[in-house]
Amino acid sequence: MAAEILFVDDNRLVLQVLGDLLRSHGIEVLTASCAEEALELFKRHEIAVVVSDNQMPGMSGLEFLRELRNVSPDTVKVLISSYVDLPTALAAINSSEVYRYLLKPWKDEEIVEVVQEGLRRYRTIHDIRREDEAVLRSLAQTIELKDPSTKGHCDRVAVYALLIAESMGIAKEMQRQIKYGSWLHDCGKIGVSEFILNGPGSLSEDEFETMKMHTDWGVDVAEKADLSEVARNIIHYHHEKYDGSGYPSGLRGEEIPIEARIVSVADVYDALTMDRSYRKGYPCEKAREMVREMAGTALDPAVVEMFLAVVPDGPLPSTDELRECDALPARGKKALGLLFPAASC
């Protein structure tokens, strides 16, 4: 899906004029008449540049752009206003990471130039990030080498988490960060000995305390790598439990970030289906039933319900199979598109 441009203004005439202006330069645009409507568009579209009026009923443009820091942090944000307001301009730059502040009435050439610059900026960030994706996934696969029984785990967790997130209407940019966090959710295990990871039986109390440290070690790595807050939350909190009995912080219910609750369900399910040194993996049907039984205790019931509705009943194709487009069933093609967006079948 190509990244798109969004204009937000409560004046329909303004939206029509701006839309016609951009289309005359070969740029297609989306429009929304309020911040709430605009936020809904972020669930279905990848938006590169947003130009928002400030004075609107309900949520102001400044409040809307501030909200986008969580919803779609890479979107280039432009605020437009009908009068000079220095405090608002400074607040926009400082708290909402606004790229440009424009005045009405706008100059046509200026607004076209700003949108084109914003689009180039967004594409540059994502060109760089495509290389980063290879690095992130390679790191995840390197960590898996410490425990051979987990081969492919990071990719499968990412696919399950993305299927859930997409069906829950989570914004495209946040889905991207969920993918990164899924790949790296166990990156802290780089500091756990192979003896603990590959032991033939249950862990001793001391070994389990060491194993639990992987969430803190992992988030430290993520912070040093300047990963997003969404990815860091997944790495840090994917072992929290809905009833508050998890670790590292004993968070309960919605205190646990939604991205961590999603990945937790994906992680638990895939772990149940894997062969380990101390047990055989459960059949998919049995693992799904076990996940269902954990709803409300270890796992978020709403996320479990969505998981059961959208995740295929049966083994997911391997990563190699995901890349063999012609041989894929429909569920595999959807998984491929979520995991490797540049691929086409």
Give the residue numbers annotated as catalytic, written as ranges.
Answer: 189
Find out whether 92 and 79 touch, Cβ atoms under 8 Å. Answer: yes
Find out whether 256 and 299 touch, Cβ atoms under 8 Å. Answer: no
C-alpha span between 126 and 260 (Å, rounded): 24
> What are the structure tokens assigned to 211, written together?
């194993």
Task: Report the half-sphere exposure of 138 (CA within 13 A, side-chain side).
Answer: 6
Nearest to 216 by CA among 232, 194, 195: 232
C-alpha span between 53 and 78 (Å, rounded): 9
Q: Which residues of 284-294 are buried (b: 16+ CB within 10 A; e: fewer)?
A: beebbeebeeb
Find out whether 170 and 43 touch, Cβ atoms under 8 Å. Answer: yes
C-alpha span between 86 and 106 (Å, rounded): 17
| Helices 108-144 and 172-183: angle between axes, nearest 10 degrees | 20
With residue 277 as reference, give the H or E element that holds it.
none
